[in-house]
Amino acid sequence: MRHSIICTAACLAVLASMSDASAGEVLELRAGSIPVTSKVAGLLTQQGSSVPEVFVAQWQMPVSFEQQKQLEARGFRVLRYLPQDALVLRNVGIPSTALAAEIGARAAFPLSAQWKLAPELVRESGRSKKWVMVSLFEGSDVSSVVSALRSFRDIHVLRLSAGEIAVSATLESLFQVAAIDQVEWIQDLPIWSTLDYAISASDIDTTTAPPALTGYESGTKLMGFDEALLRGFTGKGQVVSMADTGVDTGNVATLHADLKPVVTKGYPLGIGATLWDDPQGHGTHVCGSVVGTGAMSNGAIRGGAFEARMLPSSIWSPIMDNLAFPSDFNKLFSPPLADGARVHTNSWGSPRNLGEYDGFASSVDKFVWENPDFFVLFAAGNSGEDKNADGRVDEGSIGSPATAKNVLSVGASENLLAQGGIQRPHGQLRDGDKKYGVEPLKSDTLSNNPDGIAVFSSRGPTTDGRLKPEIVAPGTNIVSTRSHHPRATLLWGAFDDQYVYAGGTSMATPLTAAAALVARQYLVERAGVASPSAALLKATLVHSAKDLFPGQYGFGQQQELPKPRPNVHEGYGRVDLEHLTRLVGSTVFIDSRQGVASGSSAEISFELDSGKGFRATLAYTDAPASPSAGRALVNDIDLEVVAPSGRVVSLQDSKNNLEMIEIKAGQAEAGAYRIIVRGKNVPQGRNGKQPYALVVSSSR
């Protein structure tokens, strides 16, 4: 190996110079940026003031790991980080006076009830009652909160999970609920939906003759699965799990022949469910895209990782006749994790409150933070529309939980299929005149240009300015396995008795999960990474992706992608396994479990040959943020590249936990590069440090 890791010691002076001039003066919350005025800050600084059980303390400087250890030793529990330089603390029985001074903070004050209410609840304020979700701080006594709530008038209470309660109340009463110390956040209840793009029956291509096979049916061809297969990578030895409407008959003995050898166990998790059969059809299609063997089509239509093993969960509720599960991500992810799954794919989400980092995004982030080898994918959503009628799909339509930081959010690009499924122009689809009524969108079709982004694919960024989606994969007119359940729908139409067409970010996501399984097998077998972290899988998939710039309408006024990657339409581009499975040999993979602390850095060197481009990708699983925070990034580490001439390239990104620095061939100097990972501010590290993954290579 020609790289070495050098850690430099923490340096307070550097730390101080790196911190923002305004650090520690504003609380960045969803409710707005709150200046910590003397009026707010004075609340817990007066002698004799009583200290609430949960409060915020804000420091003048980034709060160190050592300071937090001292706080814990004095009887405080650190519950959350809030930007800037603030912690939410639980006071475990210290009847303190002049609290701020005592703990060295510049201010300490209670959490205001209005900061705990999702802005949409306040916006939609009416006198009528509605059901909302109340999230409690970690370690709260749920029973005591439930009793407190039951004592309020006109409130109905339902216990959901270890940390969440559903409540029916008026907005006025919600302020009372929010005033309870243990309550962290109140938001809308989700409406979970499968993320296949909804069409009407009349949209379906009714060509009667079955189309001749072209090899593009499954969507895998455009992603380089054929090349990966030739090199021996099929997802073999990998275990994957999914949550969806169920799979086919839900019985391993009678399952679809394409799925029977690879699906070995299922989990019924829907409310009131005892089975994991698929009465809808969506989950069976998704499952086939990941692991379908193609047994019923002589291998013509098969999933990308057909030698992996699949453990599906059904979150379909027979009582609700829809997706409904306890919304407890521990219950969703823990069983397959315990049974060996390291990749979990999700083709569902909530199309409400688009772009928001909500309680569910935070819960998913928490699970991955606690289980950093569990790689979770979520479909970005199908809320892409051109509302302002400028011929370009609008931004800001990512659904939760795809807004989470520690997942891979997958958008849909176009497949290449001229017959079958949906072949109508966008403007003629259901509501197409309203959503896509302006050229070039109007007369374009869904699967005629693989360099295009599916018109419906949800676009980033998130409300707090993070780049989403991170990646795209084909998600239009994808052919995959058909559920044999008598009630199952035909999605985008039947291909034959065994397969159906479908489209949506729902279809792009399992294909990307299959790519993650191939990537995982490749990293284990060829790169010598025994157990790749979720961050390394993300970095590797993103690093090798293909930029689709300028998109399907060429350059000029109608250009689809306004700038090269990363952009909020394609993220870092389309999954490219042909590229990924030839990385070893000229690529450095680092999966640092130790990580970097605030003010420290790690460094490697990389020798670039002349005529080549340079690319470095940094990804990390960040600590979960409070849904009340106005900026979801907690631990901020930076990628810095020093070219042979000494020129420094750094993005100074304080929003994303994924960064790429690319220097194109022709612009890159040959010679020794230094690649530095800097711990800028790590308030919630693992023992004070933020683990990370780094992939560095030359490019063509």
CA distances from 291 to 259, 311, 415, 514 (A): 7, 11, 19, 7
Q: What angle do CA 249, 489, 575 make, to 5 degrees?
A: 85
Tokens representing 148? 């407190």
Minimum separation from the CB atom of position 661 to Ca ion (A): 12
Minimum separation from the CB atom of position 387 to Ca ion (A): 7
Smaller CB separation from Ca ion, 638 or 640: 638
Tokens representing 348? 């569902």
| Residues 595, 692 contacting (CB under 8 angstroms) | yes
Minimum separation from the CB atom of position 288 to Ca ion (A): 24
- Of 359, 234, 260, the C-alpha closest to 625 is 359
Smaller CB separation from Ca ion, 388 or 645: 388
Minimum separation from the CB atom of position 355 to Ca ion (A): 16
Tokens representing 73? 């030793």
Residue 413 φ then ψ, to 5°: -105, 180
Smaller CB separation from Ca ion, 438 or 490: 438
Minimum separation from the CB atom of position 32 to Ca ion (A): 24
Tokens representing 457? 């694919």
| Residues 278, 293 contacting (CB under 8 angstroms) | no
Query: Distance between CA 458 and CA 468 in Å, rounded?
Result: 9
| Residues 627, 362 contacting (CB under 8 angstroms) | yes
Query: Distance between CA 56 and CA 362 in Å, rounded?
Result: 19
Minimum separation from the CB atom of position 448 to Ca ion (A): 5
Alpha helix segments (H runs only) across 379-467: 432-435
Q: How would you label 262-294 residue by residue, b for 16+ Cβ within 10 Å and e otherwise? A: bbeebbbbbbebebbbbbbbbbbbbbbbbbbbb
Smaller CB separation from Ca ion, 186 or 536: 536
Minimum separation from the CB atom of position 129 to Ca ion (A): 37
| Residues 242, 287 contacting (CB under 8 angstroms) | yes
Q: What angle do CA 667, 670, 672 make, to 5 degrees?
A: 125
Smaller CB separation from Ca ion, 392 or 482: 392
Question: How does DSSP classify residue 589?
Answer: E
Query: Distance between CA 426 and CA 60 in Å, rounded?
Result: 54
Neighbour-count burial of 365, counting CB atoms closer than 10 A to its CB (0-12 exposed, 13-18 middle, 19+ buried): buried
Smaller CB separation from Ca ion, 330 or 448: 448
Smaller CB separation from Ca ion, 276 or 692: 692
Smaller CB separation from Ca ion, 110 or 550: 550
Contacts of 662 (CB under 8 A, 6+ apart): 613, 614, 615, 616, 699
Smaller CB separation from Ca ion, 278 or 653: 653
Q: Which residues bind Ca ion (CB under 5 A)?
A: 386, 388, 390, 392, 394, 444, 448-449, 452, 636, 638, 653
Question: How does DSSP classify residue 62?
Answer: P
The residue behind tokens 């199908």 is 382
Smaller CB separation from Ca ion, 188 or 638: 638
Minimum separation from the CB atom of position 678 to Ca ion (A): 8
Alpha helix segments (H runs only) across 609-661: none
Question: How does DSSP classify residue 215?
Answer: S
Minimum separation from the CB atom of position 685 to Ca ion (A): 14
Smaller CB separation from Ca ion, 448 or 558: 448
| Residues 94, 75 contacting (CB under 8 angstroms) | yes
Minimum separation from the CB atom of position 383 to Ca ion (A): 13
Smaller CB separation from Ca ion, 170 or 448: 448
Smaller CB separation from Ca ion, 422 or 516: 422
| Residues 381, 402 contacting (CB under 8 angstroms) | yes
Minimum separation from the CB atom of position 457 to Ca ion (A): 12
Minimum separation from the CB atom of position 552 to Ca ion (A): 5
Minimum separation from the CB atom of position 127 to Ca ion (A): 36
